[in-house]
A = this chain, B = another copy of it.
Amino acid sequence: MEQKKIKAALLGLGTVGGGVYKLIQRRKDEMEQIIGTQLEIVKIMVHNLDKKREGIALSLLTDNWQEIIEDEEIEIIIEVIGGIEPAKTMILEALHAGKHVVTANKDLIAQQGRELLNAAEESGADFLFEASVAGGIPIIRPLKQCLAANELTDVVGIVNGTTNYILTKMFEENVSFESALVKAKELGYAEADPTADIEGLDAGRKVAIMASIAFHTRVVFEDVHTEGITKITEKDVAYAKDLDCVIKLLGVAHDTKEGIEVGVYPMILKKEHPLASVRDSFNAVFVHGDAVDDAMFYGRGAGEFPTASAVVGDVIDVARDIQYECTGRISCTCYKDTPIKKFEEVKNKFFLRMQVKNQPGVLACIAQIFGNHKVSIVRVVQKYVEETQAELVIVTDKVKEGYMKNALKELEDLEDIYEVSSVIRAYL
């Protein structure tokens, strides 16, 4: 075991990069105890050299990638720039050069994971990305190692803090989606352009990564059907409460006999489910395996230090592997090639809220259409009735998405139905 100092370079000095640098500084002595040698950030790559950065020695900064990639003493590259390029090129160059890479880049892993992991495997390098899913929550390592003896069949997670904060506000303070979003922006939970969060794209990337690891089959972002929470109304919230349920934006991945199902959509779920009590901007990932049964991992899915916690945890592991000369020890675990199910084939339960003509025979007509499309109704609630109009809520049994789509299309053409106001999937 060599006792030489291990040198690392940090790519990016935004929120997460700053957190990583500070955390490594703060835990210097402890890390030496854990790893058995010192770990030092010797270069930080930034876009703008002139920007003032408190507590960072100017000599560390560079805007020249060559300075880093050509420095043979730098063994670990910590990529926290985010996005596809230039991160991808840099990571590939680093791996080809035999350097080890730790990244928090979910966009990249969810789209180009295979290429990156192959590059790592070819050069026997460590390539770790714990921070790419659910921020500080340990999930990649538990899936890859602790639960390795399991056939995992279900991974269901609240993996976007912004939308969970919004839904929590809507539930606990009876406010609309719009005003909850305003509040989320005020608190810095939502970005100026919140599309990636509220439309489920961010969650979709994380689900792709988790599904790949859990089911040993490469799942990419494009495989994930994504829907957001913008259509959830205060009335939906009220009905969910009546059903002793909450509404959560869930990233859902199931390994079924007919293939892998992956999606992100708001779902109604029972208050007793462990995911139901995950409040505010917290994240949680619920897992089911044939041996472990149900398990859940809960914590902060974003933020400077929670994300840095995961990044630096990975860095410590890489340093340990360097010390023990066993880098590449945990590599790609996608040794299967299970097909991804077409979304129309995925089965879900549904909560449907619709405005219908208040006259006899309407429900019979709706039931007839559902019957024709193989949709079983398990519950009907009619709560608000005006002279000419009634609001009907229908909860269905599991049915293929394709069938439901066709049934809804036919319903919408019906004269007696003014509007299908909400279509929310149910995890009951």
Q: Which residues of A contact B (CB under 8 A)?
A: 19, 23-24, 27, 30-31, 33-34, 130, 136-138, 141-142, 145-151, 216, 272, 274, 276-279, 282, 284, 289-300, 303, 305-306, 308-313, 315-317, 320-321, 324-326, 328-330, 333, 335
Contact = CB atoms under 8 A, between A and B. Distances in A.
Contacts of A333: 34
Nearest to A149: B312
A275 to B, nearest CB: 10
Nearest to A138: B146
28 contacts: A23-B149, A23-B291, A24-B149, A30-B151, A31-B148, A33-B216, A136-B292, A138-B142, A141-B141, A141-B142, A141-B145, A141-B146, A149-B311, A149-B316, A272-B277, A272-B279, A274-B277, A284-B296, A289-B309, A292-B299, A292-B300, A292-B305, A293-B299, A294-B300, A295-B300, A296-B298, A320-B329, A324-B328
Contact of A329 (B278, B290, B313, B326): B326
A128 to B, nearest CB: 11
Given A274-B278, A294-B298, 20 more contacts: A19-B291, A24-B149, A31-B149, A33-B335, A137-B292, A141-B141, A141-B145, A145-B313, A145-B316, A146-B313, A147-B313, A148-B317, A282-B294, A292-B300, A294-B299, A294-B300, A295-B298, A296-B297, A298-B298, A326-B329
Given A147-B138, A329-B324, A297 B297 contact: yes
A293 B216 CA distance: 31
Contacts of A309: 147, 149-150, 289, 291-292
B277 A291 contact: no
Given A27-B149, A149-B27, A274 B298 contact: yes
Residue from the set A142, A292, A326, A333 with the largest chain B CB neighbour count within 10 Å: A292
A317 B149 CA distance: 10
Contacts of A296: 284, 296-299
Contacts of A137: 292, 295
B277 A149 contact: no
A120 B361 CA distance: 76
Given A138-B147, A141-B145, A300 B293 contact: yes
A306 B277 contact: no
A207 to B, nearest CB: 20
Contacts of A326: 321, 324-326, 329
A306 B321 contact: no
Q: When A and B form their complex, which 7 residue pairs have the shortest distance between CB atoms, in order from nearest?
A: A138-B146, A326-B326, A149-B312, A295-B299, A291-B309, A296-B298, A324-B326
A289 B298 CA distance: 13
Nearest to A140: B146
Nearest to A317: B145
A138 to B, nearest CB: 3
A347 B284 CA distance: 31
